[in-house]
Every structure is written in C-alpha cells, then in structure tokens.
Amino acid sequence: MSSVTGYESNPFGSVTTYFQIDDSWRSRTGRGISVAIIDSGIDVDHPELAGKVKESVIARADSKRVVFEPTDTGDSAGHGTACAGIISRIASDAELYSIKVLGAGGLGDGQSFLAGLEYAIKKRYRIINLSLGTTKPQFFSPLHDLLDRAYQAGCIVVAAANNLPQPSFPSVFSSSLISVSKSVETDPFHFGFKYGEIIELTAPGVNVRTAWPGGAYKSLTGNSFACPHIVAVIALILETNPALTPFQVKSALYALAAENEAEARHAEEGSR
C-alpha cells in the first residue's frame, strides 16, 4: 500500500491531497483507459496490436488550418507502432487511438503537432503519449497553453525528453505534464523519479524490443521508447483508480518511484 500526499492548486488556492494506492494496479490491464498516440501512425494489423486501435486519423492541411480525417495508411516511419507495441505489452487492454502527424522518416511540422495535441484534448483521451517534440521557440507559448487545457480537461500528457542535449518542448514543461528519459532498467515497474529536475521520470529505454510495421519486431533505444512505458503504467493505475487527477497521477508515480529506490538500496545493502 502506497500513501500519496501533496498539494494541488485550484482557482481558490491549494488543497492537501491524500490517497492510497495498493499493489493491485500491477495486475491490471488498462481496460477502459483511452490512450492517444500522437506520432507517425500505427500498423493496426500487427499481431500485437490487432483489434486494439480504436481509431486512426491523419493530419491534413486545409487552407490555413489542420484537420483530421480517418486513415488506413498505417505507419509512415515505424515510430508510432513501436510506441503502441510497448504500451500494449504492459497494458494489454488499453484502448489505443492513433493521431498521425508525422510522415516518412518521422518528420512533421509544428502546426500538425499542435493540431494533433488539440485534437486529443478535445476528444478527452485519458492519456496522451508524446514521443516527439520541437526545439523551435515559436511553439513554446502555444504548447504551454494547450498543456493547460489538457490539465483542465483531465488529460494526462506524457512527453519524451529530447535525445540530444538541446531542450525540447513540451518535455521541459515539467509542471504541467509528465516528462520521461531513458534508463537501462528493464522492468517497466521499476521506474525512477528525479524530483526537482526538468526531466523527472526515468523508464526503460535501452534495447527495448517492440513491434515494428509489417509484423516485425525491433530493439530500439531512446527517450521516445521510455515514454510509453510510463504511459502504460499510468493506464494500469487509472484502471484501479479512475478518478485520479493529472496532479494525483504524478504524485502517485513519485511515491511509487520512491518505493522502488528504497527497495533498490535495501537490496544493495543486503548484498554487501
């Protein structure tokens, strides 16, 4: 049983939050939890993903705006399928929604990225996987505004840190989302939390074997693949505790990570 405490802000000030999470979340499957994957699309016919992708849409420029329409074009780069495979392996019954904003080579434009995030927020998908970001400063403010809207809508946004030393948006907005970088850990439940750092959570992201378009599999390394590990864990927690706010989910992850670190220290001391 994990006890979680913290202070959550609201328009009238701050309130103390206290709740407990037992270990039953570890045996959940993410049933009933919607997960949006804003990426390069998903191969819906992959054996690990068949029947799990409830909707696939693609960004299309329409005059001066971006619209989304149903698509069966699959995955243009493999990146989205890889992320979906990681989530599905841990939270096998989570409902996946593909929002395709990246094309061949995993390339895309900032406006489609913004539009994809706005689309996911309007749909109120419970968790949003952002294994992508931008370093262009003109997107700082609009992304920040969208994250505020996501928080108010109850959407939990999880973003991967940039693989390069240069900060990327939105992962640096640690106050309004959950940011993740890779670790060499292999157990998805043994994630870490670096309180006070810009990128707070660490999760498996080195040589991660996951789905790849065409029924294939690949071993991949990068912060992109640490992000869906945390998304899947959140899906399990939310199935057990569906009323948790984004703030409470982040507090729960911190409490669970602290337990992981305490267990690791105990094991290390016992081996001396």
Mean pLDDT, to the nearest integer, of 79-105? 97
Query: How many Å apart are CA 35 and CA 14, to the nearest integer?
Result: 29
For the question of residue 224 being annotated catalytic, the response is yes
Annotated active-site residue in 131, 181, 224, 251: 224
pLDDT tens-place string over residues 188-236: 999 999 878 889 999 999 999 999 999 999 999 999 999 999 999 999 9
* Sign for the pseudo-dihedral over CA of 145, 148, 153, 155: positive
Could you confirm whether 93 is annotated as catalytic? no
Identify which of 35, 4, 37 has the alpha carbon closest to the alpha carbon of residue 21.
4
Second-level CATH architecture of 26-270: 3-Layer(aba) Sandwich (3.40)
CA 262 vs. chain centroid, Å, equals: 25
Query: pLDDT digit string (tens) for 3-21?
Result: 575 555 555 445 456 678 8
pLDDT tens-digit map of 132-145: 999 999 999 999 99
Average pLDDT over residues 154-175: 92
Residues 75, 76, 79, 168: which is the catalytic one? Answer: 79
pLDDT higher than 50, residue 237: yes
The residue ranges of every structural domain in the chain are 26-270
Establish whether 144 is a catalytic residue: no
Q: Which residue has the tokens 């409470």?
A: 248
Of residues 34, 39, 46, 75, which has the active-site annotation? Answer: 39
Q: What is the pLDDT of residues 57-88, one digit of tens each?
A: 999 988 889 999 999 999 999 999 999 999 99
Q: Which residue has the higher pLDDT, 266 or 119?
A: 119
